[in-house]
Structure 1
């Protein structure tokens, strides 16, 4: 991936942390995560791709987070807290996390998970490792890399005190971060600030241990950086000068995509847009801090909506749809030249999907970053497609589908008859039941340096295992893998594909 990518063919698996199996309603940094790393090693994989790790807000999307720097407290391993004496074995049984083996209940998670984590915080002094924990926690709070921590923790405390309402509805003094109001809030919410900071300490400690475990077994982590941050986030509240807001910190224009063949009214994301002129004047300081933070969490970073760095779509704030808006110039290559200068050569994947203008294509080429190829986009029987494998170059990452696509089994069952016929002809299959593994084989056999396959496709799961359907609310981000899904037979088949197509990690 870019100039520092491993100079060999490789493969990996896409599986969000929340989709892991576990005992407590949502995937986490638990034993099941370590078992999954072992499975990846056993099957010859080089990469584990995950989704953003931030704390989720309304809609449960990891792309709309309360902080671009903080980690999701739901991922903290409960059994590890029991092992450290912060919780008793009986404590988790007192809380109902809801959901099923295959689906997450975020409402129950929100109502009960923090109560259990608060109990762990209250038990710090009772832990058998209390001295070590306190020492590590204090060092974590003072780390120069955590200049975001106080703002995030105070933001969460204020949000709780305001009934979960967005920060732009808070009283003026704290909404505009006036000095006296901030001083009073710091004192008033002292313990809650410490609690939310403690959760970030636990998250960082557990995630870095899991990442180290993966790296030692030859598995690199591919993480995801959304181009935009949420309006209702600590980032926007604490740094309004970075965004296109008016003097009262109300958005002027917001992010989205114009109408296209998939959406008659476009996509209204609602994220605040950046003041790129301000970022330029600072030498992109905030962006460099954000990207550097990502490379502490991940080995490779997938930059979401890469097109937005070339040109971005601006929709007047308050518009009900994305039908009215305009394209404006982004920072272009200057941001990535600054990144190279400040942070050195880094492995990057450019999410360059959708309609690409010549200037976007030129930007991707100038960075040298590999783009993405999605096999599900290839089989339109009416026209030739850049997503067909015979059109690939080595410097790309090929997927059967991503978190925003249907499972391949679900997709194949739903496409038009003529497209299905063309797909069968191209893949050289007669029966529909062969389609999923034929798609995987086409990806592995391609010239592309790297192949990433969603775990649902390896498991040949139907459409109800889809992670996300863009532009819809409810029912997204909830799928989980069954605990007995990773069979020896599947492991052998994945290993065989990695071996046959010269993609073995070792």
Structure 2
């Protein structure tokens, strides 16, 4: 029996949104406290966003590596406990306003200097470290070389490097490794500590009877070790430049569509290699998480292809994806996995068939059910057991924000349909939680912001908008026994424990 076949619920809160004294949430004390809060609240799942190392724009969906973890999540107090830091190495540094926002620029300029101090105090002959290097060698060495090379090239994208570095000339790489061994070791050390701290936290969460739902972005960043190392898996020309890029077509939410800018896959070549690249990626994901949410699932049926030089997504067109050939190959190699399909967006009959054939639960968003711009049918009377219900995800407004910013007629329809006639926004948000919890969906996930009754200022991401995305943080006092009692009440009421 798969984990998602039973009736349960969970909370969506990314690691970066946890409280801490050092600018961003980490794998430290507050993560363990939140895990205890989940247990006290009767929850079965903790859903997070991708754990990858973020690049320009700070999006967890744009990472330098599909395998490498975000160094910002390494807890400094735990490093001090390991004897690798002293409190005075970091406690008095300027970490910005620690209350509600992450200052990524400040973190970039301070965090790595502290981590370098820890590295200088680390014994590279540590037996556990040696075992980690051996186990993760297939991706770790190239990642460490890539990050060192980026720093040597003023953090520029790999396509702007000298041609011999860009094309991975063997002799040039060998000389570079020899001349920069200490810096390369630093990036290996970073990943060792990331995985050590994450695995300890994951074990703690799992021992509480809680499973972690992790996110796998469908695409990778062009400026990543994955594309630099394996350009043949992507739609690049003879100069290793992108031919077409990913995105979404214009719709009721965006007249220009969404231009993500990621390189598209060379699915023909992927098929020839029996989808080894994707199998390896999913194998890595299921070692990180208990359950995997596959982002932009509809892109596996058909994907939107936009000319690489275009400034908007208007001139894109649809191309056929791998469909069930990919998922059959994954199942043959890895067995039946616990996967959630993010099937939002433009869903055709072909996409619906792919979801059915895969057997994966799709997603149902309550906000979409009453949004007149949304063409899909998300009304609760159409929900199925094999699905995951949300009010909204990290890409949507909070429940309170949605109530404030939506069309009057949309809100009126929602109130009639759900029989909600309180006009206090926070109370209405809790009523919406109640209604989605009462649905037939086996699984329901609620954003932490919605349990806290927060408005649009705490929204995690506004797609296609630049600004303070990915920066919201929860306050330490936000979680308490009173809130846990409210959550466990609605959880127990609808038999989700």
Compute the TM-score of the two structures, normalised by the length of structure 2: 0.97
Give distance in 1, aligned partners of 2:372 and 2:243: 43
User: Is structure 2 residue 461 aligned with structure 1 residue 463?
Assistant: no
Alignment deviations for residues 62-105 of structure 1 (CA, whole Å, 9 cap, x no partner): 00011111000000011110001100011113532224311000
Moved more, 385-394 or 207-216: 385-394
The Cα of 1:427 is off from its aligned counterpart by: 2.4
Distance change in 2, residues 1:402/1:380 (3 Å): closer
| Residues 482, 190 of structure 1: alpha-carbon distance in 2 compared, 3 angstrom cutoff | same
2:129 pairs with 1:137: yes
Q: Which moved more, 1:263-272 or 1:4-13?
A: 4-13
Q: In structure 2, how many angstroms separate the alpha carbons of the residues matched to 1:244 and 1:355?
A: 23
Q: State how far apart, in whole Å, the 1-side matches of 2:305 and 2:372 are.
A: 34
Q: Secondary structure at the match of 2:91?
A: helix
Q: Distance in 1 between matches of 2:466 and 2:145?
A: 28
Report the 3-state secondary structure (helix = DSSP H, G, I; strand = E; otherwise coil) of the residue aligned with 2:477: coil
Give the match for residue 485 of structure 2. Answer: 492
Q: Distance in 2 between matches of 1:473 and 1:6?
A: 35
Kept in 2, the 8 Å contact 1:82–1:88? The answer is yes
Question: For residues 170 and 7 of structure 1, what CA distance do their matches in structure 2 show?
Answer: 49
SS of 2:246's equivalent? strand
TM-score scaled by length of structure 1: 0.96
Note the C-alpha offset of 1:431.
2.3
Q: How does 1:211-360 map to 2 (within 5 A)?
A: 211-360=202-351
Report how far residue 385 of structure 1 moved. Answer: 6.2
Rounded to whole Å, the distance in 1 between the matches of 2:417 and 2:354 is 32
Q: Residue in 2 aligned with 1:80?
A: 78
Q: Distance in 2 between matches of 1:176 and 1:165?
A: 15
CA contact (8 A) 1:97 1:113 kept: no
Query: How far 1:5 sits from its partner (Å)?
Result: 3.0
Deviation at residue 211 of structure 1 after TM alignment: 0.5
Contact map agreement 2:346 2:376 (CA 8 A) in 1: no
Structure 1 pair 13–84 and aligned structure 2 pair: CA distance change class (3 A): same
- The 2-side partners of 1:226 and 1:303 are apart by 7
**Unaligned stretches of 5+ in structure 2?**
none
Shift in CA distance, 480/167, structure 1 to aligned 2, threshold 3 Å: same
Structure-to-structure mapping, 1:65-464, within 5 angstroms: 65-125=63-123, 134-143=126-135, 145-380=136-371, 386-433=377-424, 434-464=427-457
Checking the alignment, whether the CA contact within 8 Å between 1:28 and 1:77 is kept in structure 2 is yes
Are the counterparts in 2 of residues 314 and 328 from structure 1 also a CA contact under 8 Å?
A: yes
Residue 40 of structure 2 is aligned to residue 48 of structure 1: no
Query: 2 CA distance for matches of 1:292 and 1:179?
Result: 28
RMSD: 1.4
Residues in 2 aligned to 1:252 and 1:62: alpha-carbon distance in whole angstroms: 24
Q: Deviations over 1:318-363 (max 9, x none)?
A: 1111111221111100110111110011100000001111111100
Per-residue deviation, residues 403-446 of structure 1 (Å, max 9, x unmatched): 00111001101111111111222222222222101110011100
Deviation of the 1:146 alpha carbon = 3.7
**1:369-416 deviations in whole A, cap 9, x for unaligned?**
000001111114699962121111111000011000111001101111
Q: Distance in 2 between matches of 1:402 and 1:441?
A: 17
Residues 4-56 of structure 1 deviation map (CA, whole Å, 9 limit, x = unaligned): 23542100000000000011100000110001000101111000000000000
**For residues 381 and 355 of structure 1, do their structure 2 counterparts lie closer, same or farther at Cα, with a shift above 3 Å needed?**
closer
Cα pair 1:27 1:75 within 8 Å, conserved: yes
Provide closer, same or farther for how the CA distance between residues 463 and 180 of structure 1 changes in structure 2, counting only shifts above 3 A: same
1:480 maps to which residue? 473
Conservation of the 8 A alpha-carbon contact between 1:381 and 1:422: no
Give the alignment partner of residue 32 of structure 1, picking from 10, 30, 33.
Answer: 30
SS of structure 1 residue aligned to 2:287: helix
Q: 1:490 to 1:262 in 2, by over 3 A?
A: same
**Distance across 1 between alignment mates of 2:418 and 2:5:** 28
> How many equivalent pairs are there?
495
Match of 2:15 among 5, 10, 17: 17
In the TM superposition, structure 1's runs of 4+ consecutive aligned residues that sit over 3 Å from their partners are: 380-385
Deviation sequence 1:134-170 (CA, Å, 0-9, x none): 1111111111x44111111111111111111111001
Aligned residue for 2:388, secondary structure, equals strand
Q: Secondary structure at the match of 1:48?
A: strand
8 A Cα contact 1:17 1:75, kept in partner: yes
Q: Residue deviations 1:120-143, cap 9 Å, x none?
A: 000114xxxx87xx1111111111
Cα deviation, 1:235-279, whole Å, max 9, x if unaligned, reads: 111111111111211111111111122111111111011111111
Counterpart contact for 2:37–2:484, Cα < 8 Å = yes
Unmatched 5+ residue regions in structure 1?
A: none
Q: Provide the rounded CA distance (Å) in 1 between the counterparts of 2:386 and 2:200.
A: 31
Specify whether residues 383 and 451 from structure 1 end up closer, same or farther in structure 2 by C-alpha distance, changes over 3 A only.
Answer: closer
